Structure 1
């Protein structure tokens, strides 16, 4: 092609691009650009709203945590003041014991101590100093020196060590900022906080802003109804000093992700009003800011919050949208233009693509048909969950398994969760959450679903997890297998084993007893040729009896029929009993039993079942240990758990058998000629028994150096056992009502950790009976209960005069339904919290509704 032809061709292409025939391409470009702008604007706005919501939640949590902790500190000082009010005489030892019981370092990090400063009149100053010196402080003086009409000397300050030694004897009334707060506390009779000061404890390290809280103490028997009377009766102040940096770090901990804050004292005339700041001043334009006013004990504080660059970056992920949208729009424009310019080629391409699409559709139909036939043949149902918007869809067979009419529409995942049996719901959600949060790509879970007719349908859920580029789970798909027939067969097998075992036990007991009587010589001397055979018969009848007992135990555990009486027991006593019970067997085998580190700790167990586990461990260790060796039982405690280990000197456990150690009928040597007898059920039973007592089992082995089998149990705290009788008086009681026992126990655990005394009920009738028999300070209830609706319980409570003002927190997946059924009725002492339960929100909302009840 000549140069002139090339120029003409380029001109033709250019003219065609701007021709009327290409208007559709320009329309596509315009729509693409407008759509890009709209999507970008929407994403930016959504990110800003999400960032603002999270920012408000975090700053509210910080403000609430500071407010609550300062109230806690006031309660500590009021307790110290109460000691002076109640005791005839308070000395240094009593003060030290009081403060040690508070465990400040563990429970209230950031507080330097709790002290008492005594008011000393000028005319008795010398006498006061001589009195303190006589207590063992020969160099004591009230400082700073100087003549004043009134002195206040720090007498007690615990812990009396480290930084606190510098404050002993200090007259806080001599410093204006401290004096103003002390004067206000004395005149009002209320707790008071100082402005920012430099504490005497700032003897080394980085100097932090400090504050002090004062609670006035008055002489008993004197009138304190007026300001003048209170000043005349003033005995001193119980107080605490705080380094603000340490205090706020102890209060907030990890509550400030992505948010910087500054705490200011807004009183006028302060040289440096900043109490603490972790705001990066180099960041000049944070995306979000907030200011909160906080008034506490005579001081007006101001919290200034700023989002950090890391926080802002989390909600600034839409910058790629305009570039991607513009690129796609240009690509579509070019494709449309090429289609216009190359109509013939486009028609050919469309024809080829049509053929390819038809071929693909035919292959897809064949594939779908094969899958349908496979699922139909296996009698499985299928399901598909989109995790981004929590929607799911299930096949006709899946709905038929549960007795519901099939639907091809997407459903809310909450409906599917509602079909899970209440006793299985918490376990299933936990297992699914673990699978989604891990890196596994498939899972298999057995659970129970509720049939429309009311019965339970056991199913096997198998699924595959699809993840995005970052590894986040976005979709889960799989099958659902009805296990009703399989469970029925298993139950028949279990019943058969149980029936056979029970039927064998009676004649076997008679046989064993008869052989024992014959072998004992009670019926006359046994002829020597017969004695050996009778002994063999007696031994094997005993082995068969052990096998039957093990089979019955496994059947009871599998059916959930084994009863456990959990009580607080001494672990040392249980171990000693197990050692004594196995001593004769050990001597017969030439094995020595040794015990190490048997600490006397308390555990909550069924003593008979734990004795069974220990006997199993010890008898196995003795059985597999060579003659002349020793079996060691060792006890080790670690914070709130205790571990009991039994170690033998046998050949150890082969590597190929380790995965089967705790399986039913598992034996390393399964041949008919094995050296050691046994059923292979003992360890399987031990594992199930420990699981029922909140314990766990395991083993360690390095052949040929023997094996160590261990069990672990939570320690029952001594303080909790001693305080059990008085806990109802000291802590607020809460009735927890939920038809799912696991959720009820979980809520009770959260409340117990927060200082409440919870009681649980899984039925409406049980809750009604408990409310009649016991006084509760609050109630937490679900709506859909096994024998009624939670709103009926709430209406009954409100109808009773004694319970009309009880604070109630509804924790349910059906809060919307419950609020609609209230028909717009307003109840200030009723709060709503959606499931799943969030520990922080649960405690926050319960505190709020109980505070509203106290205010009424």
Structure 2
């Protein structure tokens, strides 16, 4: 469900405007009615100031809705009228034009989503879609904020200024749960409450719960889960008649005798199989490891081929081979190209990991100038760094620093270090790349003013598939193998990699590599020709 919210917000991020037909076509691919039970629809509500309201109403009426109005009609500073909702029919038509921000419970959740930049769930409410006169189901909504900056601003004040609208999902609790869990079982039941600081509201009761609740011979348990910032309390009840009472009430001596027999039998089996297990375990582990590495390499290779094809075709579209593109088409293709590039980078990293674990890395070593490589890497990443409003300082000597190694793998390692610095540095942060020499070593250092890494997590940095929790983790796309990959490459080049960090103060990654020895200029000594005198 959260992916629908984030996908809808992404559509608005990638476009200046999203039309009603584009919204309908986009959501049709999700097949919501069959794949996402309980959702009444997927909607979008723009934020409208009082001065913008007349123009907004006029524009919507011009679409073919001559009676459209924002309701309730009470004057206020800010409106958030439901502009799009799919499917746009039946009970969802009641929501069209409704200002959710005018109602306190909805407004509280919308403010929470706006200030956090994350999905936020409301307390239980009666949905606008509920028909008048009928017994309503408890309902709730989940909101995903959309910002005019096309990315989540760093500070709360900026988020409040840049809020553009909300993608939201309305739910009816009984529709959601009955379509997810079978309710025909009579031997157990449950009920659910939405719990917050002020209230404990009943949101669902299964058909069997009421009958079992009156019985004495039942077992109960209560658990609490967190859903989009809300606490859901689930109380379960079970009829103990489904258990075999004869077994549960046998004398303790029988239980003791059975336990003793099991211990003796287990000891005998352990002694019998111990030697065989030790003989086979090492062979089995090697076989499992080899199969895993082969599967990883095969899967990565099979993914790489179509991803490369996608890159070529999307690149041709971006260059105009199929005709001139609109601004919206260009932005969407740029997004697709960037996403495919990230996928290709991840696939290449997976292939490297598979080859490294299998001991099949082949280094094509050559002499090259490390200064040129560092400049190229910095230039390539300036675009991303600029988008994040970060400052990049590059300090590289004018004279060449020659090393010998595999250019492809070393470039991948150095790129990962700089990429990590940009990902985990807040907007407006500062990143410094410095290349220098110390004796016969070349030193590549990347320093940032990012979120840093707490000491208790630093031992995990160079482990495979490890991602360190911090305030930016959820906003960063990654596989958790960047620094692992870098260390494998640097170790293979007889180098070292060192990490220094303080939480919330930034990090420095330093890589030391051996320089290529300077060739000695040799000259053949010549004996002076003897003089005539």
**Which TM-score tier does this pair reach, normalised by the shorter chain?**
0.3 to 0.5
Q: Which of the two has higher C-alpha Rg?
A: 1
State TM-score, norm by structure 1. Answer: 0.31
Greater per-residue helix proportion: 1
Q: Larger RCO: Structure 1 or Structure 2 (Cα < 8 Å, ≥ 6 residues apart)? A: 2
State TM-score, norm by structure 2. Answer: 0.48
